[in-house]
Amino acid sequence: MKKILIIGATSAIAGACARLWAAQGASLFLVARDAAKLDALAADLGVRGAAAIHSWQMDATDLSSHAPMLDAALETLGEIDIALIAHGTLPDQAACEADAACALREFATNGTSVIALLTLLASQFERQRDGTIGVITSVAGDRGRPSNYVYGSAKAAVSVFCEGLRARLFKVGVALTDIRPGFVATPMTDGLPLPGPLVAQPDMVARRIVSGIERRADVVYAPAFWALIMAVIRNIPRPVFKRLKL
């Protein structure tokens, strides 16, 4: 029976992952800000076959709350086989451009708080000398685009952090999977003018995530075709790239 910690559990993608793990009979420790959504998710996962479900209310941007949360997860689960970090926001780029405080707040939510959690979890997994940490970043971190570079820079910071942390943890038998979704149909993207053929459903993305974590993959693009798209975007010459509306 897998013992799984999910931070940001009530997001559409994390919830879909939790449903897949529940169907495998996993024991789950769910963390999110909204108590009502946590209760609803826990009830759903119970029906789907989870061996045990525990919930913990936490705002991930409150760094002082991280250690008590992990202590509670360890007390409940014992060792953790999989930890998935999935919280985040999609900033209003125009608002961030007009207000440095807004930009820094969004960077903290999508970057700093994730790095803080990774640091805490890495020490625990290093002691265990086993397990996999998954963290949802974004294809937006592969190259800074004018339409969302605040969000992209935070995700890029996490991906680079993961690159180094992965090499550290590999030496003690721990895997770290950097999950980079493209456009996904979630409440966070509702109403955005996204190109329909490129928009994936959360259940499809979740299958890629769960499979990637089970394979202990280093980097997972979800869907897979985003690896090719981003390879092209990364290789656009800078003089051309800065003239594009992306």
What residues are annotated to the active site?
151
- Tell me which residue has tokens 């989870």: 50
Tokens of 103: 């930009």
DSSP 4: E
End-to-end Cα separation, the chain, in angstroms: 44
Beta strands in the chain (DSSP E): 3-7, 27-32, 52-57, 82-85, 132-136, 175-181, 219-222
Instruction: List 133's β-bridge partners, or say none.
Output: 83, 176
Nearest Cα residue to 88 out of 177, 179, 163: 179
Neighbours of 159 (CB within 10 A): 17
- Tell me which residue has tokens 């939790």: 18
